[in-house]
Structure 1
Amino acid sequence: MPLDVASSLLPPLMRLLHFNRTFVTEEGARARMRERTLRPAAYGPPRTLRSDVRVDVVHDRGWPVYTLTPTAVERPAGGVVYVHGGGWVNEIVRQQWRLAAAVAAGAGVVVTVPVYPLVPRGTAGPVRERVVELVRASAERHGPTGVMGDSAGGQVVLSAALALRDQGVRLPVTVLVSPALDLTWSNPRIPAVQPTDPWLATPGARVLADAWRGDLPVTDPAVSPLFGDFAGLGPLTLFTGTRDVLNPDAHLLVARARAAGVEVELFEEPGQLHVYPMLPTPAGRRGARVLVGRVARALRTPA
């Protein structure tokens, strides 16, 4: 399928606006951490999110935890815990809130959105454990609960899904949008993809990953879930674009998970960028619709 105009214009625009400044150099990543430590970004949802979703928030152990509840259904079909991306250094943004709200309204589920601590304060192990707690709490309150994460958030939720599996909990769905999977950035295919990616790059990503791992080895599945054992996981749904340095690891995840007997649905869009289902393009809108449909199907007929 030929690229649409919006998709073809985004990469040069992003290069012009230096979207990759945090990732293209080590100093860029360090500067971003310093900036976010001195001037934390706002994280709350847009005032005009959706009229068919009610937004609530509680503060628990220093974390703001939002819930998005659909108002057009009498009884939600279950829950989803959504962890946002941003390189472990950037707060949740408008596009991520919109996707979370679309899932709540479109799938008829309660979406829990934790605002977790970022680097250099937050680290992988404690954040994963808190997300595990939130999944269990959602299951108790709302019924069958899956997880969803984009980019860095994909790393968190897949790590949490592995931990829950180890505790005997098989999630009905794990949705990964352009997930970070191996924080060693050692896939030999990454250098071939790098010139086409206007957003992410490995020099800064290595700095952020080193801060995020805390006292864990970078190959610990709590940090790099690609190193985990996938046997016994519930179904995975994965979205990836080919102009994304995380795309090669997505293929490794699909191969390893299927080899372990896991049901995997891969949606790969040629020529599309990182987290393409959140972008204002025809491919992005298609991807978001598919994503909402997969969540609805999984939680109405849980595995």
Structure 2
Amino acid sequence: MASAARRPASHLPPRRLGRVADISRTFVGAWPVYDVSPLGAEPSAQVLYVHGGGYVGELERPHWELVRTLVTRARARVVVPAYILAPRGTADRTVPVATDLLSGLIAGGGDGGTVLIGDSAGAGLALAAAQRLRDRDGEQPSRIVLVSPWLDVTMSHPDQAAIEEADPVLARAGLAEAGRLYAGTLAAEDPLVSPLRGTFGGLAPMTVFSGTRDVLATDSRELVRRARAEGTEVEFHEAVGLPHVYPLLPVPEGRAARDRIVELVRSAAQL
């Protein structure tokens, strides 16, 4: 992280994305925000996509590949914030900006629906923004899609130790440190930081993807249990033997998950 602070990684979209999409960039405060739409076509729905990376990592090629899929197959306009990373970007600063961005998209969405999608840490930020928006004025997107969500930065679930032994991607110690940086002056248990500690009634219908070889699978399971208990509709996909963010990977199960996400975005356009 110290090295990244000295020489920040690029969040620019790959050049080949410009062959199939119109791409523009604006700024929301200090955040560069990319607006990616089908080339020469009117989008049928819109997506706010919040990328993962443990709150300390920039947009990378797999994130942009998902954006490409949403643009070309779902014919969606995809808004992609390159939010300020921790330790500069802490939850008390980041969640309000994400909430305002989501609210603006919903308000300007016209006839098409708005789908909120996040993966890993981005899913945590997305869910916290949806909770804050609900509490502020009752607004919600058409659907929330969470891919391998990181929802509790305390990394305190008792089942995580056993899962970690089979996880080829993540480790609890590094996640806990990244979570500490993202929390800033807030407690790690604060719902702005760890939205699993918040409430779920009144949220949009959710679709959640998780793999059993992901130490964060406990977050998905707890979210599904609590959200359903509070009356929120949840569609849950748990892939046996698959790792963190498997829907972004070039494997058959990943392609099936992406197919479902495309279906959900298309369905939102018809609401």
Q: Normalization by structure 1: what TM-score?
A: 0.85
How many residue pairs get matched?
A: 268
Between the two proteins, what is the percent identity of the paired residues?
43
Matches within 5 A, 1:277-288: 277-288=247-258
Q: Distance in 2 between matches of 1:57 and 1:171?
A: 22
| Kept in 2: contact 1:178–1:240 (CA 8 A) | yes
Q: Match of 1:99?
A: 66
Q: Distance in 2 between matches of 1:88 and 1:36?
A: 12
Q: What is the root-mean-square deviation in Å for CA atoms of aligned residues?
A: 1.3
Q: Distance in 1 between matches of 2:134 and 2:269?
A: 18
SS at match of 1:142: coil
The amino acid that maps onto 2:12 is G
What's the CA shift for 1:72?
5.8
263, 266, 270: which is aligned to 1:293? 263
Q: Distance in 2 between matches of 1:113 and 1:44?
A: 11
Q: Match of 1:109?
A: 76
**1:161 aligns to 2:150 (yes or no):** no
Matches within 5 A, 1:85-164: 85-143=52-110, 144-164=113-133
**1:71 aligns to 2:51 (yes or no):** no
**1:48 aligns to 2:16 (yes or no):** yes
Q: Distance in 2 between matches of 1:110 and 1:126?
A: 26
Matches within 5 A, 1:256-267: 256-267=226-237
Q: Distance in 1 between matches of 2:40 and 2:232?
A: 34
| Kept in 1: contact 2:114–2:268 (CA 8 A) | no
Q: Normalization by structure 2: what TM-score?
A: 0.95
SS at match of 2:37: strand
The amino acid that maps onto 2:101 is L
| Kept in 1: contact 2:106–2:141 (CA 8 A) | no
| Kept in 1: contact 2:46–2:115 (CA 8 A) | yes
**1:268 aligns to 2:238 (yes or no):** yes
Unaligned runs of 5+ in 1: 1-32
| Kept in 2: contact 1:81–1:147 (CA 8 A) | yes
